[in-house]
Amino acid sequence: MENAQILIVEDDLSFAENVKFQLSTSEIKSDNIISVTSIAEVIEVRDFQEPDVILLDLNIEDSSGVETYEKVFNIFPLASVIVLSGMDDESIALEIVSKGGQDYVIKSALNAKVLERTIKYGLLRRELTQKVRKSEMKFKDVFNKSPLPIIQLIGLDLQTGLINDAAQKLYNASPQELTKRPFSNFNADKSQKITADGGRFIQLTNDGEEIIVDIVINEIEPDTDQLEYIALIIDKTKELEFEKRKFEVVSQAEESEKKKIARELHDGLGQQMVLLNLLFQNFNPSDAQKESFNDLQNLLQNCIREVKDIAYNLLPPELEKGFLNAIERFAHRISSIGKIQFVIDIEEGIQEQDLNSVDKFNLYRIIQELFNNSLKHAEASEFSISLRRIDGGIELKAMDNGVGFEMEAIQKGLGIENIQYRMNMAGIKGTFNSIKGKGTSITMNLKSL
């Protein structure tokens, strides 16, 4: 306290001298005490002293009331301001304390002990205030310099508050363009709402570029009754693009291998078996051998059909003429077998070019996998596909009338995992739905040109 810098702002010179005398009885050095009578002189003091404590009379030569405090605070924002109050302006002194003033002293009650105690408490509060400010500055520094985008969200509608530098860079926008907006407004699909649970969303930057982000939201203790959250934004766009490219390379390699195997089966083993069947028909079995001969001939013909089916599934030639053609041929072939009815319902006006932006090969494989699941596990008598126009694309719904299952209880098998994997890599959004005893369906949204 002995090294504390004290500034007295008081235009009553005799009272100012009395305050200086009272202070001289404490451990404060007289050289550290300056007395001025106006705001103009306070500004001059700024050139050679940074006071720790200001003893302030509100009514001085060139200022009065709350305005005096505001002017002094703007000149010395780090100082601890103690108001020297008369009985008639005590309410104003209390108002100033509510605005940030440290304390007030009634002039008539002023003595050395009161001054010493008030200044000591003022210095302590100033020290604590500085620590809080340093802590806040450190937090803001960590917040702003974090390499990960962070956004403060406020209230039930999650309005954006503070935006750190990384978030500004991610969204390619200034704080003014990003703040005071519901965070859901950033979504490409405006009907999709962001909640305190966070999740994965497709959002738009300020220049309209789509980004895929994982949003992790945690509630923080607010200074007010208003809800506050911190949202960590993890940009997954490049990672998912890389995964998609990797999948495309792997998928192309797989399909190339499947084509090779399909051709080998069709042109190699398949043709050899057809030739074997022709040669086999030239045999003239005896009556005793006819039954065995017929069994062998039927077995050979079944093998030929199975080889053709395998080759067809590996390399459906109809797909080269478009998805709609391929799926119609697939449905006709399945329905002709008679085990399960395959129904297709395409809204009038939907044409192949509407699906030019869709990964048709993976979509066809998804339909194949869904049908195989219905055939093997669902005990279905009908499998159907419908295509309808929706805003921004085509909705494809595939469903069966099988036994269904409980969505919560089912464990993902290889079939469902393959479907979801192909959907993710092809950029197809879809939702499964199944009710025990009422069948299973999947609705997929396909982007249209």
* Rounded CA separation 341/338 (Å): 7
- Summary mean pLDDT of the chain: 83
pLDDT value for 87: 57
Q: What is the DSSP string of 376-440?
A: III--SEEEEEEEEETTEEEEEEEE-S----TTTPPP-HHHHHHHHHHHHHT-EEEEEEETTTEE
**pLDDT for residue 322 is more than 80:** yes
**pLDDT for residue 449 is more than 60:** no
Mean pLDDT of 52-73: 87
203: amino acid identity, one letter:
Q
The model's pLDDT over 196-252, given as tens digits with 9 standing for 90+, comes to: 999 999 999 988 899 999 999 998 876 667 789 999 999 999 988 887 777 677 767
pLDDT value for 334: 86
Per-residue tokens: 66: 């709350």
**pLDDT for residue 56 is more than 80:** yes
The conformation of residue 266, written as its DSSP 8-state character, comes to I
CATH architecture of 146-235: 2-Layer Sandwich (3.30)
pLDDT value for 24: 78
The model's pLDDT over 147-181, given as tens digits with 9 standing for 90+, comes to: 899 999 998 889 999 899 999 999 998 888 888 89
* Rounded CA separation 353/322 (Å): 9
pLDDT value for 259: 73
The model's pLDDT over 247-268, given as tens digits with 9 standing for 90+, comes to: 677 767 777 787 778 777 777 7
Least confident of 75-84, 112-121, 289-298, 311-320: 311-320
Mean pLDDT of 393-420: 76
Pick one of 3.40.50.2300, 3.30.565.10, 3.40.630.30, 3.30.43.10 as the CATH number of 316-449: 3.30.565.10
Least confident of 65-69, 85-89, 297-301: 85-89
The model's pLDDT over 23-48, given as tens digits with 9 standing for 90+, comes to: 877 777 878 888 899 999 999 988 88
pLDDT value for 229: 92
The model's pLDDT over 330-382, given as tens digits with 9 standing for 90+, comes to: 888 888 887 889 999 999 989 988 888 888 888 888 888 888 888 888 888 99
pLDDT value for 223: 62
130: amino acid identity, one letter:
Q
pLDDT value for 195: 92
**pLDDT for residue 304 is more than 70:** yes
pLDDT value for 99: 64
pLDDT value for 122: 75
Contact criterion met (CB below 8 Å) for 8 and 33: yes
Pick one of 3.40.50.2300, 2.60.40.1730, 3.30.930.10, 2.60.40.650 as the CATH number of 6-142: 3.40.50.2300
Q: Provide the residue ranges of all domains of the chain, joining segments of one domain with +.
A: 6-142, 146-235, 237-311, 316-449
Confidence of residue 88 (pLDDT cuts 50, 70, 90): low
Q: Collapsing DSSP states into helix, strand and coil, what is residue 104?
A: strand
Burial class (CB in 10 A: 0-12, 13-18, 19+), 295: exposed
Mean pLDDT of 396-403: 92
